[in-house]
Amino acid sequence: MESKQIIGKNIRYFRDKLGLSQNELAYYLNIKRELISYYENGKRYIPVTALNKLANLFGVELDELLEEDKKIQNVNLAFAFRSDYLKPSDLENIASFKRVVLNYLKMQKLNK
């Protein structure tokens, strides 16, 4: 499978697991909703800057967006935020918080 298809499937997977719509993701990335659909269907490559923002929002490392093993991905969703009442502006704060948590976990791993 081509990398853009793997990334697209993973974007859809994480988005669905977190209960986010394509519209919410598009607002967060400041792009049109249709572009999210193209990314998820593997029809377009997604810029690295957008991949970084999505990795932060999903609470995963960037390379996990290329991961095909769902078991590995499920572990990282353990501390995911899920809410039906998130405002689009809340996504920036959630992504920042998840980045802090991931950095903390990396530091803990290094200290062992």
Lowest-confidence region among 15-29, 49-63, 72-86, 95-109? 72-86
Nearest to 6 by CA among 92, 82, 68, 85: 68
pLDDT tens for residues 27-77? 999 999 999 999 999 999 999 999 999 998 988 888 888 887 665 555 555
Note if the pTM is more than 0.75: no
Q: In this structure, are residues 102 and 61 in contact, taking their beta carbons and an 8 Å threshold?
A: yes
pLDDT at position 12: 95
